[in-house]
Structure 1
Amino acid sequence: MRSPFRRPLVVLAVLGLGLAGCSGPAQPDSVAGEFADALQRDDVAAAARLTTDQNAAIPVLEGLYRALGTENEVTVRSAEGSDFTLDVTWRLGPGGRNLWQYTTSGLATDSDDGWRVKWNPATVAPGLDTGPLEYSTAYGTPARVLDAAGGELMTEQIVTLVNLAPDADTAGVAALLGPAAPGITAQTLDTELAAAQGRTVTAVTLRAADIAPIQDRLSALRGVTLAPQTRLLTVDRALSGPPLNGLAELWQQEADDTAGWWIQADAAQGPRRVAGREPRAAADIASTLEPALHRAAEAALAPIRTPAAIVALRPSTGAVVAVAQNAAADAQGALALTGLYPPGSTFKTVTASAALQAGAATPDTVLPCPGSADIEGRRIPNDDSFDLGRVPLHTAFARSCNTTMAALAVGLPATALTDAAAQLGLGIDYVTPGLTTVTGSVPAAETPAQRVEASIGQGRVTASPFGMALVAAALAQGSVPAPALVQGRPGTPDRTPPALPAGVADDVRSMMRETVTAGTATALRDLPGLLGKTGTAEYGDNSAAHGWFVGIDGDLAFAVFVADAGSSEPAVAAAGRMLRAVR
């Protein structure tokens, strides 16, 4: 595919091409134009035929395109008599980010076959007459990726690839790699080699500290080759998670943007630089991640066997401070940031906000909370069909009365839940440097039956752990904070979230506090000041359920998600493990 960089070729008028007896261009400006066009089309054969020495031109031009690629623009700047000049631009490197622009001169000469370009490699590119050209890049001092406190989070480090040939001593390799990579055995290595069908395989990539004690013995084994490389790695090898991948991508972009480059001619008297730019210093990337909290979140999820995730933000700034997943979630992707699930009763934060704004109730309005209710053709039960009778809304929220919330939602406008969700960031998507996220979806509930299902976070409502953490942060702050993974580089919303009316967040936060002190999250009431909301979200044929917990702990807002948990209890327990570890 030709690059969109190309613009229509501008050449001088071509005259007399149809004259009888002429096998080539009939005018000097004609041959200049056709030569420029052939070079721009990367047509080596056509360009060479237009020169006075086709045999000499072909290998030089082929070598040039191999070295520089084919993203070029060639135009005739001027032509006077037999003399002409060419303006040339090459786009070099990844994405064509480096431009090499120059002007050359050439000479047209008449021959029995018409006008030809006198072959001179310098007419095509400066320095090409002294030898083949090569394109190279050079990186300066690598940037560091820093944590929220300014400590080193990720640095460029040397790693070593342990490559195995088909005849490698797999038993010997496995014995040496055991302490650093317990999952590697002679059998697993034999299986990999067999699947490679005669090709070399990389058994493992080791950090410097891991390979140092065994390097000499490994390299002495049959069929083993050690290949050192540089990679961006976490300083603490135990840290993992989707944000680190995003930070690594930003780091690579910064490195590429500041890299130097040059064109070098391989001249007979030695290499000679023709053009280029020296590398610039790459700025360190200051992330918002807090390693202690991130480690606590990872440790809190470790005992859970089904996919589980925690996302935590600072409501005052939108700083994303932890995004953790367990191994089961890692196997499925970045579930913490983009996995969409029914949010269950954690969505009652949105339903309560919508009801308060609509004037349908206040926190003290006494409402019925029967064990089950038939509402708009659907039977809505409470968990284990508990029946509270008539209670204030704040109690119904804290005890997670499905029947109360569903009855409230029936009378709301079709877009009430959609609008209330957007006020809390749910359904708003952000372009955030270093993060790929989806918050969720809350479609308009056109029928009362749809509003019943949506009110308890079921039906067509979906949310990601990131989205529900943003909801908690918006409630804590009173408005949606712009999420950020890099300090000073907040995310940009796809639309501006509407404002949350004054007082609504206060009321919902008060109900979330009661959820912890006297509701469904009393397992966490030993944590002073904690606010929260539990959620159990059925899915599929409603025989299985995910577990949720969203919380606010001072200037910390978070969401915990546990797939196939059956209830909210595993999510509540994980939240407790994380919070107690950092208090």
Structure 2
Amino acid sequence: MGNSPKLALALVGLVLGTSLVACGDGRAGAEDAAKQLATAVSALDVGSVGFDGKESGAVNDQLKEIFQGLDPDKPAVQAGELTFDADTATFPLNYAWKVGAEEWKYTVSAQLKKSGDKWLTVWKPAMLVPELADGEIVTRSTDTPQRAAILGAGNVPLVTYRPVVKVGVDKPALGGADPADSATKLAKLVGVDPAGYAQQVAAAGPEAFVSAITLRDDGSRTITDAQISAIPGGRAVPDSLPLAPTRTFARALLGTAAEANAEQIEKSGGALKPGDTTGIGGLQQQYDAQLRGSDGIVIRAQKAGLTAEEIKAATTDPRRVLFRTEVKTGTALKTTLDPKLQQLAEDVLADVGPASAIVALRPSSGAVLAAASGPGSNGYDTAMLGQYAPGSIFKMIDSLAMFRNGMTPDSTVDCPPTLTVDGRTFKNAEGYPESSLGSVTLRDAFAHSCNTAFINARDGVSQAQLESAATSLGVAVEAPALGAAAFLGSVPGEAEGTEHAASMIGQGKVLLSPLAAAVMAGSVAKGAPVAAQLVLNPNEGVADPAAAGTETPGTTPAVPPSGDAAASAAPAPAPATAAGKPVTAAEAASLADMMRAVVTSGHAGFLSSVPGAPVGAKTGTAEFGNDSPPKTHAWIVATHGDLAVAVFVEDGGLGATTSGPLLKEFLTRAS
């Protein structure tokens, strides 16, 4: 019992200590209430927050009304350090809103009041927005800039705003007419799905205009306003859109611009909103940010219910500006495309059934003047992205490698009718002249495209030398100056046996695009590797090659929808960063000598009548697929003064007879 006083004293101390904690200043509870308020306002839902003298539901309704104009955006809100005064506490609320590409930040004061053992929020609109009064709401208005143009050579507009009409059913103008009947008639008139369009019209509100199709209004449309208005509710609404000169003009390369869909808006991270125009494919998508610019946004406080008429009638604007971002107009994308040559290339390919392409560039500068993909490409950019066995046009690369081993155009080579390598028999093309068989000059073998002569040279020309010679002529390398997604070719550095033999005639795993073929020919004309250039100002906006749905310039693109066995092979190796040993002027002169012989004594004599500078050329035919006889790619490349051109037809027989006439028409009309 001697310890009883001490035990009693300890118990008294414990009770006293507990009482002191219970009767503290309540800071922890107030801090919890402040954090709960900040979290609730961040979600724009304060239904779970206790308010002093106000129903939570009523406050929540008022908050939603205040911020309805900013929907669907929400702020990030954090509570600052509390200051106590008797049974009240005040603290800052720090707001951050994402407004376009900028942030709207501000700080307001909020107050808590203790009621029993709870901390309640003192409601006032100014705790949401600085100086916001009862009866005021927050609004947002947006000023969207027009999309910038895509320009061609000499800054000629290629894609610019052109007049259109949006054709559809205006439901308020239906009168007593049946919406489904009008929708069906209009759909049949303009060539859209009647059932699908009728569903759209039925689902739209009673005041809606439901667009069925947008037509160019350049005097060429065959559907007239009278035909449209003859249908109850039918209307043609004038508008303008960023368009190329024609529906097909460089479409695969340029892409298109259209109203953003829900998926694009969701993926944009807030950069796009409903009604915005955005790029789809090609340069329009790759340089979308540069072309689109950014909205100017104004956040205002104003009396709820304020009408546009009242604002217009007021001597001073009754609204108060809270935050503003300036509109930033897009920057025009400058390209090297020559509109006349581009249109000419498309006209020449207009009646070609298979996938096809014409690429023309200026060797002296590398400027891509035309990159046309024919109608048989079905929207794919065959000109820039196609991956195809080049056939005998690759003999330009063989010849360069042979020059580097000491040969000249006058050196003698052996051209037998057939040649067998590891059990595989190679032969020359049908109709090969007997007079050019046997012991002939390299020039003659090149002019008549003797496959066996070049395969015979395989032991003296390694696969690594072929790869080096290719890069020397500007192909199978990266294209940093191009500014667009492209495939510049692939030449394996290692191959043996029949695969190496096939490489000597541009088959096996050797792949080029029409662009690469034009670069190869252009490098001969220039006497140095051509660095192709299409976009002149790629750094004036955010360029995202991956967004184009294609590839970073110079890398391997997706396989084209062609069924090409060569293109369907394993992915091409990564390109070299640059030529290890650039072609010299002397080497290029020897190649030009042999290309000229193709026209003067070989099977491209039809090009001798092209006016202007002498034409040098090389034809190519490459087998692909498993058919018997096999299908063939038809190629021809040419130089004509300061112009290099490649013509390609995917399933086209012989290069001389299929692609040759297309080239002749292009060069003759371009002269």
Aligned twin of 1:561: 648
1:159, 1:207 within 8 Å by CA — same for their partners in 2?
yes
1:241, 1:323 within 8 Å by CA — same for their partners in 2?
no
Q: TM-score, normalised by structure 1?
A: 0.82
Of residues 349, 360, 363, the one that matches 2:396 is: 349
Of residues 197, 217, 229, the one that matches 1:208 is: 217
Q: Distance in 1 between matches of 2:145 and 2:90?
A: 42
Matched to 1:49, the amino acid is V
Q: Distance in 2 between matches of 1:343 and 1:33?
A: 68
1:168 aligns with 2:182: yes
1:394 aligns with 2:443: yes
Tell me the secondary structure at the aligned position of residue 181 of structure 2.
coil
Q: Distance in 2 between matches of 1:127 and 1:233?
A: 47
Aligned twin of 2:562: none
Aligned twin of 2:28: 26
1:340 aligns with 2:387: yes
Matches within 5 A, 1:478-497: 478-489=527-538, 496-497=577-578
1:90 aligns with 2:100: no
1:287 aligns with 2:297: no
Aligned residue pairs total 547
Of residues 567, 573, 578, the one that matches 2:661 is: 573
1:243, 1:434 within 8 Å by CA — same for their partners in 2?
no
Aligned twin of 2:489: 440
Q: 1:278–1:453: structure 2 CA closer, same or farther, 3 Å change rule? A: same
Question: Residues 524-561 of structure 1, C-alpha deviation per residue, up to 9 Å, x if partnerless?
Answer: 12224212211111111151111111222222222111
2:360, 2:645 within 8 Å by CA — same for their partners in 1?
yes
Q: Distance in 2 between matches of 1:21 and 1:109?
A: 17
1:310, 1:336 within 8 Å by CA — same for their partners in 2?
yes
Greater Rg, structure 1 or structure 2? Answer: 2
Q: 1:68–1:126: structure 2 CA closer, same or farther, 3 Å change rule? A: farther
Matches within 5 A, 1:237-386: 239-245=249-255, 246-249=282-285, 252-268=288-304, 271-329=319-377, 331-357=378-404, 359=405, 361-384=407-430, 386=432
Q: Distance in 2 between matches of 1:252 and 1:400?
A: 45
Matched to 2:213, the amino acid is V
Q: 1:582: how far off? A: 1.6
Q: 1:394–1:57: structure 2 CA closer, same or farther, 3 Å change rule? A: farther
Q: Distance in 2 between matches of 1:303 and 1:484?
A: 29
Q: Distance in 1 between matches of 2:77 and 2:183?
A: 55
Matched to 2:57, the amino acid is N
Matches within 5 A, 1:420-439: 420-430=469-479, 435-439=484-488
Q: Distance in 2 between matches of 1:217 and 1:555?
A: 51
Matched to 1:257, the amino acid is G
Q: Distance in 2 between matches of 1:212 and 1:305?
A: 26
Tell me the secondary structure at the aligned position of residue 383 of structure 1.
coil
Q: TM-score, normalised by structure 2?
A: 0.72
Tell me the secondary structure at the aligned position of residue 182 of structure 2.
coil
Matched to 1:84, the amino acid is F
Matched to 1:157, the amino acid is R
Q: Distance in 2 between matches of 1:556 and 1:550?
A: 11
Q: 1:33: how far off? A: 4.2
Question: Residues 174-206 of structure 1, C-alpha deviation per residue, up to 9 Å, x if partnerless?
Answer: 66x6xxxxxx4xxx6546647979568754322
Matched to 1:469, the amino acid is A
Tell me the secondary structure at the aligned position of residue 333 of structure 1.
coil
Aligned twin of 2:524: 475
Aligned twin of 1:540: 625
Q: 1:148: how far off? A: 0.9
Matches within 5 A, 1:109-188: 109-112=113-116, 114-126=118-130, 131-140=136-145, 143-164=148-169, 166-168=180-182, 184=191
Q: 1:344: how far off? A: 1.2
Question: Residues 23-56 of structure 1, C-alpha deviation per residue, up to 9 Å, x if partnerless?
Answer: x9834444444544555xx544478537666324
1:83, 1:108 within 8 Å by CA — same for their partners in 2?
yes
Matched to 2:168, the amino acid is N
Question: Residues 90-129 of structure 1, C-alpha deviation per residue, up to 9 Å, x if partnerless?
Answer: 3344xxx343333333334434464455444443445765
2:617, 2:638 within 8 Å by CA — same for their partners in 1?
yes
Matched to 2:429, the amino acid is D
Q: Distance in 2 between matches of 1:302 and 1:526?
A: 23
Q: Distance in 2 between matches of 1:274 and 1:57?
A: 22
Aligned twin of 1:10: none
Percent identity between matched residues is: 30
Aligned twin of 2:11: none
Q: 1:257–1:519: structure 2 CA closer, same or farther, 3 Å change rule? A: same
1:107 aligns with 2:154: no
Q: Distance in 1 between matches of 2:582 and 2:483?
A: 28
Q: Distance in 1 between matches of 2:469 and 2:77?
A: 57
Q: 1:310: how far off? A: 0.9
Q: 1:234: how far off? A: 2.5
| 5+ long unaligned stretches in structure 2 | 1-20, 170-178, 205-209, 256-281, 307-317, 540-551, 556-575
Q: 1:299: how far off? A: 1.3
1:312, 1:559 within 8 Å by CA — same for their partners in 2?
yes
Q: Distance in 2 between matches of 1:475 and 1:125?
A: 68
Q: Distance in 1 between matches of 2:27 and 2:81?
A: 17
Q: 1:34–1:541: structure 2 CA closer, same or farther, 3 Å change rule? A: same
Tell me the secondary structure at the aligned position of residue 388 of structure 2.
coil
